[in-house]
Structure 1
Amino acid sequence: MKEIVEIVAAYDRAVKEGKKAALATVVLVEGSAYRRAGARMLITEDGQLTGAISGGCLEGDALRKARMVILQQEPLLVTYDTMDDDDAKLGVGLGCNGIIHILIEPIYDSLQNPINYLKAIVRNKGNAVLATLFSVDDRKGPQPGTCLCLTSDAILQSCVLSDAIYKDALVTDVECAIKNGQSETSTYADGTIFTGFVEYVKPMVSLVIIGAGNDAIPLTKIAAVLGWDITVVDGRPNYALQERFPLANRVVVSKPGNILSQIELTASTAFVLMTHNYNYEIELLKELMPLGLSYIGILGPKKKLVRMLAEIEDNGVQITSAQLASIYGPVGLDIGSEGSEEIALSIVAEIKAVLSSREGYSLKYKPTPIHAELDKAVAGK
């Protein structure tokens, strides 16, 4: 989501400066590659790049092709075979042993352009699906491109779908993708065989930091690097100051009972309680547990959490196994953290692992390829 937000902002700047632009999207990967399907890069006519489609090896060639696309105002499907010696000689061999298909689309001056679909996703803040159609078999034929966007409150579609006989099938696949929370690749026929990359876009991670002490500052800095939406909350007005947390999207002064009325919760909202105030945190924890959140982190020793849970149960509240599973205390992954910066790193890593349904262990011990599950889903297998 961070990449999408940055691309939207860069495009708005380009419009103000009167620059034309194109959008390059990785739409299909066969084998291994540095970036997967869904990676994007905005390219302006003067060579400004926002986002990335590789580790840096494809960007130069993509820039040259994007300038041609901007000039001709026609989408172009480009394929890089990183297993091919000729491509390696051209400087695009990534050592990744894969084939990468990239669709480069001109951004038309109309409502039906890929950037407006990305803007709809950013505004919505929830789960969304983008559908991008391209033809591998007929590269010189029509390349419909990004043509449909589904969010929780709207469905936007390009005019190219108006009379397409595969429209209903595509819409069905898009609805399934948002229901299952998983990207897929399918084929559609309408005289031409099109491949459709139906991309599930996760909402931006929303991090709510309860506590505005000095140890919360590095946590906001690391989360900001990842592009997370950050809210800092504290009951102390002399601590909860925007100037102390310039990278936070919001800084709120609030009592525990009033916090939730000021927070917009999503499936990717994570809370970290680090006020060092036992009574403040236990009062808030009572409010958070019934919400079905994926992550509630509590800074401090294990005995603190045990005491909090026992006190809540002593007051007649039954804590379910699902609620217990969502509480992480002591907070963070075990990486030998010392100091607030390292603790912040361990917290952010744990949140990312939990929201991605991962265990958080070293990749050297992973028995399958890094993206094996994703590749299987995208291939529609």
Structure 2
Amino acid sequence: MKELKDIIAAFDAAHNAGRQTALATVVHVEGSSYRRAGARMLITEDGQLTGAISGGCLEGDALRKARLVMAQNKPMLVTYDTTDDDDAKFGVGLGCNGIIHIMIEPIFADRPDNPIQLFKQFLSKREPVVLITLFTMNDKQAPQPGTCLLLNKDEEIRGQFPDDAIKEALLQDAKHVLTNGNSVTKTYLYGDKFTCFIELLQPAVSLVLFGAGNDAIPLVQIAAALGWIIHLVDGRANYAVPERFPFAAKITISKPENALQYVKIDNRTVIILMTHNYNYDACVLKQLLPLSPSYIGVLGPKKRLQRMLDEFAGEGIETTPQQLESIFGPAGLDIGSENADEIALSIVAEMQAILKSRAGTSLRYKTTIHNHVAQQIVHQSMP
């Protein structure tokens, strides 16, 4: 979500300065690429770039194409095919051995449903939405609708269907993506072929950090760099202050028994207990168990966590297997961390792995980095 926020800020600045802008979006990938479908970059007429659609090799060519798009006021679908060994002919040196389809569209600031307004609508609420980008792959000279529609969990629609013939099928597929949780690319066969990138956008990760010691500072800094929303909670008013934690969106001073009444937890929330106060951490953990968040990290040795669980059992509070699945103690991945910065890195990496349902293993042991199954094009004939 940090990339979207940066793009919105860059657009607002360019618009206020009277500069024209275009949005480049990776809409489909076949094979290997540095960025997957959904990667975006805002381009201004004077060459400023915000976001990224590759590791840096496509940006220069995309800038040239974007200036043409802005001059013509018409979206364009650009394809980079590097499946052969001689990708130098594209002048980009991609070296990814894949086919990358990129939609480049001008941003019309006076249109209420332009992509930036759809992004702002998404960020205005903490809930998942589906964003729809429509294009035609078989005829790149045909009209390219681009980013055109947003659907939320209440089935409220923002934007316009570019073709009524595919409206019902597209709406049903969008609802399925919102429920199922995987983005998909589909081609609808009805007269013209419309290919649609139906993309699930998730709210930013919310990090609730119990503890305002010195070792919490680098953890907050790393999480902030990722665009996570940080809520810091501690009982020590002289520690939990904005001067020490300028990147925290919210700081709460509370006793442990009252702490959770100030905290909102959803399926995009990760939690770390690192007050270094055994009683405080234990009290908070006891209240967290029934909530079963995605990740509860507990700092300290395993025997410290086991002591807490044993005490809960002695009080008649049994910890279920599902609850144990969400507890990670000691918190963090095994990367040989010793100092506070390294420990913070290992904890945030573990949180990211859990949120993405990954094991946190080295990429050298994988044949592919991204899962492209959800991005394969599915053809659907319309009646």
TM bin, normalised by shorter chain, reads over 0.9
Is 1:236 aligned with 2:233?
no
Counterpart of 2:16, as a letter, is K
SS in 2 for 1:177: helix
For residue 213 of structure 1, what is the aligned residue in structure 2? 213
Question: Which residue in the other structure is 1:360 paired with?
Answer: 360
Whole-angstrom CA distance in 1 between matches of 2:262 and 2:19? 39
Q: Deviations over 1:116-171 (max 9, x none)?
A: 1111221222222111110011111111111221223563343344x511011111
What corresponds to 2:369 in structure 1?
A: 370
Aligned pairs, how many?
Answer: 377
SS at match of 1:166: helix
Write the letter of the residue equivalent to 2:150. Answer: C
CA RMSD of aligned residues (A): 1.5
Deviations 1:41-84 (A, max 9, x none): 01111111110001111111111111111121111101111235
Contact 1:57–1:92 (CA<8 Å) still a contact in 2? yes
Give the drift of 1:110. 1.1
Aligned-partner Cα distance in 2 for 1:357–1:128:
20
| Equivalent position amino acid for 2:204 in 1 | M
The alignment partner of 2:30 has SS state of strand
Partner of 1:34: 34
Establish whether residue 152 from structure 1 lines up as the match of residue 153 from structure 2: yes
SS at match of 2:171: helix
Name the structure 2 match of 1:299.
299
Q: CA deviation at 1:35?
A: 0.7
Partner Cα distance (2:68, 2:156) in 1: 31
Paired letter, 1:286? K
Secondary structure at 1:50's aligned position in 2?
strand
- TM norm structure 1: 0.95
Query: Offset at 1:87?
Result: 4.7
Question: Is residue 82–residue 98 contact of structure 1 (8 Å, CA) maintained in 2?
Answer: yes
User: Structure 1: which amino acid aligns with 2:325?
Assistant: A
Q: Which one scores higher on RCO, CA 8 angstroms, separation ≥ 6?
A: 2
Shift of residue 23 of structure 1?
Answer: 0.6
Q: CA separation in 2, counterparts of 1:78 and 1:87? A: 15
Displacement of 1:297 after TM fit?
0.2
Answer yes or no: is 1:101 the counterpart of 2:98. no
In structure 2, C-alpha distance between the alignment counterparts of 1:146 and 1:90, rounded to whole Å = 26
Q: Deviations over 1:183-228 (max 9, x none)?
A: 1111123421011111112221111110000000010111111111
Alignment of 1:42-53 (within 5 A): 42-53=42-53
C-alpha distance in 1 between matches for 2:247 and 2:188: 45
Preserved CA contact (<8 Å) 1:23 1:104: yes
- What is the SS of the residue equivalent to 1:3? helix
Alignment of 1:303-318 (within 5 A): 303-318=303-318
Q: Are 1:126 and 2:123 counterparts?
A: no
> Where do 5+ consecutive residues of structure 1 fail to align?
none
- CA deviations on 1:249-279 (whole Å, 9 max, x unpaired) are 2222122233333223221100000001111
- 1:349 and 2:349 matched: yes
Please identify, of 340-349 and 311-320, the stretch whose mean Cα deviation from structure 2 is larger: 311-320
Contact 1:83 1:97 in 2 (8 A): yes
Measured in 2, the distance between the counterparts of 1:160 and 1:362 equals: 43
Instruction: Confirm whether residue 379 of structure 1 aligns to residue 366 of structure 2.
Output: no
**C-alpha separation in 2, matches of 1:154 and 1:283:** 40
Write the distance in 2 (CA, Å) between the matches of 1:101 and 1:32: 12
Answer yes or no: is the 8 Å Cα contact 2:174–2:198 preserved in 1: yes
Residue 172 of structure 1 aligns to which amino acid in structure 2? Q
TM-score (norm: length of structure 2): 0.95
Residues 1:188 and 2:188 are matched in the alignment:
yes
Task: State the match for 1:17 in structure 2.
Answer: 17
Q: Match for residue 118 of structure 2? A: 117
Alpha-carbon offset, residue 15 of structure 1: 1.9
Distance 1:246 1:154 in 2: 37
Amino acid at match of 1:120: Q
The 8 Å contact of residues 150 and 159 in structure 2, kept in 1 or not, is answered as: no
Q: Which residue of 1 aligns with 2:381?
A: none
CA–CA separation in structure 1 for the residues paired with 2:301 and 2:187: 53
Q: Percent identity?
A: 59
State the secondary structure of the residue aligned to 1:93. Answer: coil
Q: Give the secondary structure class of the aligned counterpart of 1:353.
A: helix
SS of residue matched to 2:26: strand
